[in-house]
Structure 1
Amino acid sequence: MSMAAIYISGISILGIPAEIYTYGTQFWMVLASKALVSLTMAFAYLPVFYKLQITSSYEYLNLRFNSTVRLLGSILFLTKMMLYIPIVIYVPALAFSQVTGINLHLVTPVVCIVCIFYTTLGGLKAVVWTDTIQTIMMFAALIGVVALGVASVGGFAEVWRRNEEGDRIDFFNFDWDPTIRHTFWTVAIGNYFSWLASCSINQAMVQRCLAMPTLKSARITVAILVVGIMALVSMCCFMGLIIYAYYYKCDPITRGLVHKSDQLLPFFVMHIASSMPGLPGLFVSGVFSAALSSMSTGLNSMTGVIFEDLIKPRIKKPLSEARASFLMKVIVVIIGSICVALVFVVEKMGALIQATGSLSAITAGPLLGIFSLGMFFPNANPQGALIGGLVSGSLIGWISVGTQMNMAQGVIRFPQKYVSVEGCNADWVAEYLSLTLSKDTKEIPVEAPFVLYRLSYMYYTLVGAVTTIVVGFIVSVLTGGAQHVNRDLLSPVIYPFLKRHKVEKQQNDVIKEISL
């Protein structure tokens, strides 16, 4: 349940229904790759970390390559989390502000202080247990709103019928064109690599898996995680169908009742549940549970990486347990305070949901590529990993930022599904039609954007990982390759292909290196 809470944030609860409402159900096919990701993680990546029993997943990069590659991996991870956590906080705070009328800038610091407090005092154990409670709250909130929403529309069959009429039901677009924002292939294949990066090498996930007593129990935990994630994502997707079915004759965005699609779900909840005491509060609790669980997990994993990868290797004398604990608590407070400040920067951004996916790929792709290079390619060396990671990060950063700039300028637009206002107030419809007809509707010709800027953002992590592996392997070959690689540092899936004279079979070398 704690693992599920990591990946279902307030962004998911508010953003996925908005995605389904605006673009249809194609995004729902992310579920097609979830089970495959869990198998890949359980049998290809997790056994390596479990055998090494390391505190930080980035310690692996030091053992497999060198301290410079480990530093690159740690910096990429910290950058990703520092970009992600402020958005995680901001989105539900925006919903809370809309529901209650309380100032956004008052909500944000209070939430962060609570989260910093229990993360500082309790560490991983507190985070896991609060995640568990928060997951229950998420399920309760979504189930309650789904049940009331279906009843308000007139039943499941009516929800489905209205969405079919509105062309929202679109699961199997098998077009191979990689520039289409969402097709079955972009969603299934792209999500496989982005979720693999989030699960298999993520410090938060590795940290929890290594807390399990055996590898078998860790694998069972991963299997349960997949079921929980699929249930939560499915409820969020179905929520988008319910919202469209409710407003299918009067679009709230066109009507001006909400300014962004991300605000549709809280607006819908207040619309149908304002007369039902407790339900709006349950919904807000569910959204904030998602935000708090993601923030606390992020703070905890970032603290572990900073302490183990950046501070501990540079301290000559070993720290006592008490001093180490105090230092880690200080780190949590500092990171949390920085995240609070960055929320005010996030407020100025637009298109948060897609921006989150594309920006996270800048670091997710190179990280997945570096770890995969180390585990699946015995010939890879530190020079290859370092150059491959830097080239990949630069490439995806250029594509992501360039795409966002073209979207802001209106050069790149994504076709949205049809919405109707024919059921709105008659006076408003007449006013809307007069305004629409009076506008200059002549299309302004624009130059086609660069081909890579048109690539679906779902493929960014895949491109980043492949670039890292290809460049890293070529550089490794040109620089002489790796001389000796301990068997424990390689994935079990490649053991049958190993050359015996290239791989050391001494099982204790890794333990000795960690001790040193």
Structure 2
Amino acid sequence: MTEEVATFVAADYAVFGVMLALSASIGLYYAYKDRQGKEGVQGYLLAARQMNFFPVAISLALSFVSAVTVLGVPAEIHFFGSMYVWVIVAVVWVAPVVAEIYIPVFYRLEITSAFEYIEMRFNRATRLLSTFIFLIQNIMYIGIMIYAPALALSSVTNFNLWAAVATIGIVCTFYTTLGGLKAVIWTDVFQGLVLLVGMIVTLAVSVTSVGGFNKVWEACREGGRIDFINFQTDPRYRNTFWSMVIGLGFLWLSVFGTNQSQVQRYLSCKSEYEAKKGFYVGVIAAIFCLGLSYLTGFVTYAYFKDCDPLASGKISEPDQILPYMILLIFNNQPGLPGLFVAGLFAGCLSTVSSGINAMACVTVKDFIQPFVGWSQRVMTWVSKGMVFLFGALCIGFAILASTLGGVLQASLSVLGLVGGPLLGLFSLGITFPCANSPGAISGLILGISLSTWIYIGSTIYAPLPKFMGFKSLSIDGCAVANVTNNYTLTTMGSTDVMTTTVSTTTAAVRPPIAEFYSVSYAYYAAIGYGATLICGLVVSLLSCGYRERKNVDPRLILPLLDHKMFCWLPSKFRRFMWCGVSHEKDFDEEKPVKVKDISLKSISPLNVDEAKVNGDVSSPDPPPYPNSNGFSQKSNFSDSERSLPGVAVQENGETNQAFSMEDERSPI
């Protein structure tokens, strides 16, 4: 293995510069195209709800496969083994839940901010609190997204770290401010192509340099990296089947189910069907790219199996292992290191642009627009100003991200701390009619407090090495004479360090509460979700929420058992599970429909003369209005209108024959 490290040359800077220039030009194009501002705030923040599924799918995939994934997943495989591969199973079970529960609710309400649902379901105070918490989380998360590729660039070139941070933030803020969500989504398509090409080229060249996949597999097997069997139920173990599938499953459910960055993309589609199709295609693309990252992680171990660069001191952070390998294998191939870094930046720019656009959206819709009467043109300019402001804030937080440890666990921890409780809040409103405002606020506060408390505790009392699952590293093949075996490794997501020699006195003074803090980072979202849901339900029931359940707007509740996959359940049981909320579903065609001052023996637009205005009589219910999701939908008609398809009902009891034979029921 050669130790000659490549440096950035003119060809590399050219590739990198072209990617940045094209990204910025897309923003300029949409700024010019929409310069008249005829579509208003909806056009700027939601692309006028006219996007097709394909660009939305690519944009959603890049939310999952970001620069953190490209850097962090190979490092995870290299240092901790293959248990992280089980995340794919988590994504598989999360996908139908998001598509069949959360997307339909948000899309049919025709909202702009996901937190508008919170006010509809609970109250404005809960909406503003949840929006504020989301903004704090997103600023922190995007700061990490900016820092990750900047770290990679500075570690492989003489490019200053903070100059790289500024470059990412400025370019991203520039095209997002000018072009809005259209620019974000179409730039994602271009950046997704760059990222995919960079990942494929990197994997192909690195596998060839090692000697093929057979040698990669053999090296990883001998080094203990092929380890898929860990079903420990102890939550302190960092990577197990349960922490990956259940713990991170709830995290990704919060990201794709209720995170404004993703909800905004769903709402930009032409129809609910397009939104679902875009989501499913995006999940497939994300799994493919995730697989490339797994393979790259195995290759990095095979490449460095005899002389690990972290153990030998050639790199200082685990996340630098892939960029370091890139510079070694691309030593005599100008332009390829630039392609790799361009791919990293592409993944970063996608996540950052969608994030700051989402923050601008919720700020305008939740904190500004409800309290002012400004015109659409003014609100569009205010939205652009918010994009610029949040871009600057995220650049500032990127400076602090350097203190959070490995980028993969740091980013997932930040997502879990807030994403889990917010997921619990939305789930509380969507699935439990008895939930009320006191329960929602109490649950949200407890969920965030508990998960944050555990995270802070973990930075004070780091988990013991036996729970981390750190794999052994070798320096036997290193040519450097002064390499020592007594290396240190910063545990990803912790401020403490793990060494090859653990002090027994340190372990002895650990208080019992330290074991509680040692819970795996993968469970943060699940803990916040569970605490929010349980506390919210208990407080709601104690504050008489069950008595108020019938007053809840049915559009805000999704009767889960009314889905077509549960059609085999008895109708009476499914109706019972509505908990008193009427969802307008026809279970019994013989049930009489009561209409004020009107009785019809046979309802039909052709025999209205047979109606007798003498009281209530029986009439078959109108058929339910089905939808693509398999759930029944609530009609927008009033009670009197809803009862008589084809007949107009007047307050004085008279009837007028309808001029249309069609039932005008419309979906939510």
The TM-score, its normalising length taken from structure 2, stands at: 0.72
- 1:380-419 aligned at under 5 Å gives the runs 380-407=435-462, 414-419=468-473
Q: Which stretch shifts more, 169-178 or 284-293?
A: 169-178
Q: What CA distance in whole angstroms lies between the structure 2 residues aligned with 1:499 and 1:337?
A: 47
Instruction: Find the partner of 1:268 among 325, 332, 335.
Output: 325
Instruction: Decide which of 360, 364, 367 is 2:415's aligned counterpart.
Output: 360
Superposed counterparts of 1:194-213, under 5 Å: 194-213=251-270
Task: Indicate conservation of the 8 Å contact 1:299/1:335, yes or no.
Answer: yes
Unaligned runs of 5+ in 2: 1-57, 489-499, 563-573, 585-633, 639-668
- Given the alignment of the two structures, is residue 325 of structure 1 paired with residue 380 of structure 2, yes or no? yes
Shift of 1:509: 8.9
Q: Which residue of 1 aligns with 2:233?
A: 176
**Shift in Å, 1:277:** 1.7
Give 1:442 shift: 6.2
Q: How does 1:78-477 map to 2 (within 5 A)?
A: 78-315=135-372, 317=373, 319-407=374-462, 414-425=468-479, 427-428=481-482, 432=484, 443-446=504-507, 447-448=509-510, 450=513, 451-477=515-541
| Residues 91-126 of structure 1 deviation map (CA, whole Å, 9 limit, x = unaligned) | 110111122211112121122111111001100000
1: CA distance between counterparts of 2:260 and 2:503? Answer: 51
1:81 touches 1:302 (CA, 8 Å); kept in 2? yes
- In the alignment, is the contact (CA less than 8 A) between 1:9 and 1:291 conserved in 2? yes
The amino acid across from 1:462 in the alignment is: A
CA contact (8 A) 1:412 1:454 kept: no
- After superposition, the Cα gap between the structure-2 partners of 1:88 and 1:129, relative to the gap in structure 1 and judged at 3 Å, is same
After superposition, the Cα gap between the structure-2 partners of 1:434 and 1:480, relative to the gap in structure 1 and judged at 3 Å, is closer
Q: In structure 2, what is the Cα distance between the partners aligned to 1:235 and 1:115?
A: 26
Q: Is the 8 A contact 1:485 1:503 kept in 2?
A: no
Residue 461 of structure 2 aligns to a residue in which SS? helix
Alpha-carbon offset, residue 487 of structure 1: 1.1
Bigger relative contact order (CA 8 A; separation at least 6)? 1
- 1:22 maps to amino acid: F
What secondary structure, in the 3-state scheme, does the structure 1 residue paired with 2:354 have?
A: helix
The equivalent of 1:493 in structure 2 is: 560
Shift of 1:433: 5.8
Contact 1:359–1:400 (8 Å) recurs in 2: no
Please give the alpha-carbon distance, in whole angstroms, between the structure 2 residues aligned to 1:239 and 1:110.
27
Say if 1:144 and 1:207 are closer, same or farther in 2 by CA, change over 3 A: same
Q: Is the 8 A contact 1:376 1:494 kept in 2?
A: no
Note the C-alpha offset of 1:35: 1.8
Cα displacement (A) at 1:334: 0.9
2:543 to 462, 479, 482: 479
Q: Is it true that 1:25 corresponds to 2:82 in the alignment?
A: yes
Task: Judge which range, 229-238 or 489-498, deviates more.
Answer: 489-498
User: How far off its partner does 1:359 sit?
Assistant: 2.7
Give, in angstroms, the shift of residue 355 of structure 1: 2.6
The unaligned stretches of length 5 or more in structure 1 are: 511-516
Task: Name the CA distance, whole Å, in 1 between partners of 2:291 and 2:259.
Answer: 23
2:438 & 2:157 partners in 1: Cα distance? Answer: 54
CA contact (8 A) 1:85 1:298 kept: yes
CA distance in 2, matches of 1:95, 1:434: 26
- Counterpart Cα distance in 2 of 1:41 and 1:152: 41
Q: CA deviation at 1:499?
A: 4.1
Report Cα offsets for 1:13-71 as digits up to 9, x if no partner: 11111110000000111001212111001111111111101001110000001001111
Look up the SS of the partner of 2:105 in the other structure: helix
Shift of 1:86: 0.9
* Identical positions, percent: 37
CA distance in 2, matches of 1:57, 1:333: 21
Task: Mark the structure with the bigger radius of gyration.
Answer: 2
Shift of 1:463: 1.2
C-alpha deviation, 1:494, in angstroms:
4.4
For 2:427 and 2:536, how far apart are their aligned partners in 1?
11
- The one-letter code sitting in structure 2 at the alignment partner of 1:444 is T
- Give the SS at the match of 2:398: helix
- Kindly indicate whether the alpha-carbon contact (under 8 Å) linking 1:187 and 1:458 is maintained by their aligned counterparts in 2: yes
Q: Which residue in 2 is equivalent to 1:514? A: none
- Give the partner amino acid of 1:423: G
Aligned mates of 2:412, 2:450 — CA distance in 1? 16
Equivalent-residue separation in structure 1 for 2:325 and 2:167 (angstroms): 25
Tell me the CA shift for residue 352 of structure 1: 3.6
- Does structure 2 conserve the Cα–Cα contact (< 8 Å) formed by 1:486 and 1:504? no
Range that drifts further, 106-115 or 463-472: 106-115
Closer/same/farther in 2, CA of residues 499 and 147 from structure 1, 3 Å limit: closer
Kept after mapping to 1: 8 A contact 2:311/2:487: no
Give the alignment's Cα RMSD to 1 decimal. Answer: 2.1
- Higher mean C-alpha displacement, 208-217 vs 165-174: 208-217
Which residue number in structure 2 is paired with residue 513 of structure 1? none
Letter in 1 for 2:272: L
CA deviation string 1:295-341 (max 9, x = no partner): 000011111000001111121x2x22211111111111111111112
Partners in 1 of 2:292 and 2:300 — Cα distance?
A: 12
CA–CA distance in 2 between the matches of 1:206 and 1:46? 8
Count the aligned residue pairs: 503
Equivalent AA in structure 1 for residue 268 of structure 2: A
Kindly indicate whether the alpha-carbon contact (under 8 Å) linking 2:475 and 2:485 is maintained by their aligned counterparts in 1: no
Contact 2:244–2:522 (Cα < 8 Å) also in 1: yes
Instruction: Give the structure with the larger helix fraction.
Output: 1
In structure 2, the CA distance between the partners of 1:476 and 1:267, relative to structure 1 (3 Å rule), is same
User: How much does 1:421 deviate?
Assistant: 1.1
Q: How does 1:37-48 map to 2 (within 5 A)?
A: 37-48=94-105
Distance, in Å, in 1 between the alignment partners of 2:202 and 2:530 is 41
- Aligned mates of 1:203, 1:178 — CA distance in 2: 29
Deviation digits for residues 248-301 of structure 1 (CA, Å, limit 9, x no counterpart): 011111111000110001000001002112110100000000110010000111
Q: Tell me by how many angstroms 1:435 deviates.
A: 9.8
State the alpha-carbon separation in 2 of the partners of residues 252 and 154 from structure 1. 20
How far apart in 1 are the matches of 2:163 and 2:264?
33
Distance 1:445 1:219, change over 3 A: same
Counterparts of 1:388 and 1:96 in 2: how far apart (Å)?
Answer: 42
- 1:185 is displaced (CA, Å) by 1.2
TM-score (norm 1): 0.93
Report the residue type matching 1:12 in the other structure.
Answer: T
| CA distance in 2: counterparts of 1:487 and 1:394, whole angstroms | 31
1:119–1:296 Cα contact (<8 Å) kept: yes
- Distance in 1 (alpha carbons) for counterparts of 2:579 and 2:533: 23
